Amino acid sequence: MPEVPLGDAGTPGAPRVGVVTFPGSLDDRDAAAAVRLAGADPIPLWHGDSDLHGVDAVVLPGGFSYGDYLRAGAIARFSPVVGAVVAAARNGLPVLGICNGFQVLCEAGLLPGALTRNSGLHFICRDQRLRVETSSTAWTGAYTAGEEILIPVKHGEGRYVVDASTLAELTAQDRVVVRYAGGNPNGSVDDIAGVCSENRRVVGLMPHPEHAVEELTGPGTDGLRMFTSVLGGLLRAAL
């Protein structure tokens, strides 16, 4: 909703999920709304601030950070906030990179591979079927491996590329998190839509789970569980 602030007073005891705003972030309010729907407090994080304000998890949202000049995500990786996120992620902080956020995570070296121009050379916005390949990540615990879900994609540079040996490693380690089903919209290698880090805490994906959290505004609510997954993990960790 237009003028709702990114963060609000918050619910006592609720997990705090940081949502980063870069200049050029577009889906930051949307990600914050999804976090709130999932039952957590969204905490706005500013690109120029290296303080993560004690959040329990971080979402890097979609958009065109810093105009995506040079290459998508190439400038954002040098921002103070991403520096802090990289350090925290290596210590186990759950991080979800959506679309541009995925591109940033690859540029920052938290995830392998790179996102290049779609094979069709057009921006594509469509409701996309995906297959969840693994439920053992910080962000997919609420899904069943093999489950098909429907989530929008919207990007011009979403073609996942990675060298053969890393691809073999990703596959062997069960680190391909989601694959495109029923048609590959961008020419990604092996139909890969999202991958995770070795410690399985950092997930990056091109589709937008935050746009499938309400029947009214999305193709369904399949995306909501990505946010409840991480909350479940946080609550279990707190017990």
Partner 1 sequence: MTGTPSAPTTSQPYRELGLTDDEYERIVATLGRVPTDAELAMYSVMWSEHCSYKSSKVHLRQFRDTPATDRLLVGMGENAGVVDVGEGLAVTFKVESHNHPSFVEPYQGAATGVGGIVRDILTMGARPIGVLDPLRFGAADAPDTSRVLPGVVAGIGGYGNCLGLPNIGGEVVFDPVYAGNPLVNALCVGVMPVGRVQTSAATGVGNAVVLLGAKTGRDGIGGVSVLASATFDAEGGPARRPSVQVGDPFIEKILIECCLELFDRGLVVGIQDLGGAGLTCALTETTAAGIATGQPGGMDVDLDLVPLREASMEAHEVLASESQERMLAVVTPDVLPEVLALAERWGVHATRIGTVTDSGRLVVRWHGEVVVDVPPGSLADDGPVYERPLRRPADLDLLHADAPTALVRPGTGAELRETLLRMVASPNLCSRAWVTEQYDRYVQANTVLAQPEDAGVLRLSASGLGIALATDGNGRYARLDPFAGAQLALAEACRNVAAVGAEPIAVTNCLNFGSPEDPEVMWQFAQACAGLAEACRRLGLPVTGGNVSFYNQTGATPIHPTPVVGVLGLLPDVSRRTAMAFTGAGDTVVLLGETRDELGGSEWAWVTHGHLGGTPPAVDLAQEKSLAEVLVAGGRDGLFTAAHDLSEGGLAQALVESCLRGAHGARLELPADADPFVELFSESAGRAVVTIAAADLDRLAALCASHGLPWRPIGAVTAAADLEVAGQFTISLDELRTAHEGTLPRLFGSTA
DSSP 166-188: HHHHHHHTT-EEEEEESS-SS--
Q: Which of 74, 114, 124, 235 binds partner 1 (CB under 8 A)?
A: 124
Nearest-angstrom CA–CA distance, 167 and 176: 9
CB of 91 to partner 1, least distance (A): 30
Q: Which of 90, 126, 166, 171 binds partner 1 (CB under 8 A)?
A: 126
Buried b (16+ CB within 10 A) or exposed e, 43-60: bbbbbeeeebeebbbbbb
Element (H, E) at 100: helix 100-107
Active site residues: 99, 208, 210
Q: Which is nearer to partner 1, 112 or 185 (CB)?
A: 185
Q: Which of 10, 92, 120, 146 binds partner 1 (CB under 8 A)?
A: 120
CB of 12 to partner 1, least distance (A): 21
Which residues are CB-neighbours of 164 under 8 A, at least 6 positions away? none
Question: What SS3 class is residue 215?
Answer: coil
DSSP-derived letter for residue 47 is: T
Among the listed ranges 29-37, 52-60, 169-177, 188-196, the one in contact with partner 1 (CB under 8 A) is 29-37
Q: Which of 11, 173, 199, 217 binds partner 1 (CB under 8 A)?
A: 217
- Does residue 191 touch partner 1 according to CB under 8 A? no
Q: Which is nearer to partner 1, 49 or 174 (CB)?
A: 49
Q: Which of residues 52-91 bind partner 1 (CB under 8 A)?
A: 62-64, 66-69
Which residues are CB-neighbours of 236 under 8 A, at least 6 positions away? none
Q: Which is nearer to partner 1, 134 or 227 (CB)?
A: 227
